[in-house]
Amino acid sequence: MEVVRIVIVGSGDGGTFTANLLASELRQEIRGGSTSVQLLGEHLAHPFQPGNLDIAFKGAEPRKYVRDETRLLRRGIEFIQDPAVKIDLDGRRVTTRSGRVLPYDHLVIATGAVADPSKVPGLAEGSLNFHTGPEDSRRVWEALQGFGGGTVAVLIAGTPHKCPPAPNEAAFMLDDFFRKKGIRDRVKIRFLTPYPRAYPAEKVSNVVGPMFEKKGIEVNTFFNVDSVDPAKRKVYSMEGEEFEYDLLVAIPPHHGADVIVDSGIGDADGYVPTDKGTMKVKGQEGVYAIGDATDIPVSKSGVVAHLQSVVVAHNIVSEVRGTHDELAYNGRINCPMEVGQHKAIFVSATYESPPEDQTPSTVKYIEKRSFAMIYWRALNGSLERVFDMFFGQTRFPAEAEQHLPPKAS
């Protein structure tokens, strides 16, 4: 009997969720031996990445946001703790670090994005960040404990980056932290951004900008970082500006995973050229990319990976069963942003609908905090009906897709 082989490269949010959806939908085929689902990943530890903010600015324990990957997967999935080092699209096979070769009929690339401080001279040595993992996030919290006053700079050192609201959240959470510590009057918080406003989407910036001003957070726009001098504690821009700091919290430049670069299937930044609707890798059949791995100009976030996974899993099942009822993703994003004092907003949009006016609320804050508690269960696909009601329209029949230019969040 010929087996339909589905290989998923990357065991983060998108890869894990896609594998679980496929295992659920194709359980009869998997049990009967006609279909296999293999998930490749490097680590057994699966982190809840939004938890890095709580680790960095609220002192949360890193272990609170980590689970064993194997305990998150449905039956029928073969988890291979052996990361891919080469993807051969022509030969339709994946090679792992140990030298194992996995042929595929259907492939899902969920390799994410890499936060890389080394891309800016002096940044790795002169800054802390909460994007490169829970351990580095903990170092931010430790630095804050001994901080008695001075200038804290929050720097966006490259775009795109994971979770667009995160830099703003960091500034708001720093403000909260120093107020609770009773030293806010001794701390200047400076927000350095390459964008023309406090947040790239205008209507969201219309909320964030005045709140920054009210809280005394100074915004410096069009700041494209050139280098950092750790000895002088200065950060320099390509435009010729320079600012001193006592503590620098940076959002590092991001790029695609090494396997994408080494396989020659990404763009100049290592992101996979992907159809923004069907999520197919351009020029390929049976090959999909999701989440941060793609070149689609929408938020690089877990929510986006989740919603794209639903489309990809459906389309693969359609191909396996020959039903040909392909779906397309409509660009839905829904990114929460804490704005201090137990309030939050949600940055929500689609390809055709930009973010709308917002009013910060405690209800939105509670919704955001609740997601950390249901995340692990959500990964197995059991909450999709709830999410469909919360997110609204996220997909539609692919034949009805209108190829309009996407609107970045």
3-state helix, strand, coil in the chain (%, to 5): 35, 30, 35
Indicate where the chain has its CATH 3.50.50.60 domain(s). 4-112+257-400, 116-254
User: Distance between CA 361 and CA 168 in Å, rounded?
Assistant: 16
Cβ contact 142:247 at 8 Å: no
What topology does CATH give the domain 116-254?
FAD/NAD(P)-binding domain (3.50.50)
- 3-state class of 84 per DSSP? strand
Splitting the chain (409 residues) into consecutive groups of 10 residues, what average pLDDT does each group show? 94 97 97 97 95 97 95 97 98 98 98 97 98 96 97 97 96 98 98 97 96 98 98 98 98 98 96 97 97 95 95 97 93 94 94 90 94 88 82 82 44
Question: Whole-prediction pTM value?
Answer: 0.94
Question: Residue 235 contacts by C-beta under 8 Å, 6 or more apart in sequence?
Answer: 126, 153, 155, 192, 225, 227, 228, 229, 242, 243, 245, 248
For the 4-112+257-400 domain, the top CATH level (class) is alpha beta
DSSP-assigned letters across all residues of 3-42? PEEEEEE--SHHHHHHHHHHHHHTHHHHHTTSEEEEEEES
The structure tokens listed for 204 are 């969201």
Give the number of other CB atoms < 10 A from CB of residue 91.
12
Question: Residue 257 contacts by C-beta under 8 Å, 6 or more apart in sequence?
Answer: 10, 111, 112, 113, 114, 270, 293
Cβ contact 15:8 at 8 Å: yes
Model pLDDT, residue 403: 42
User: Distance between CA 322 and CA 402 in Å, rounded?
Assistant: 24
Cβ contact 340:364 at 8 Å: no
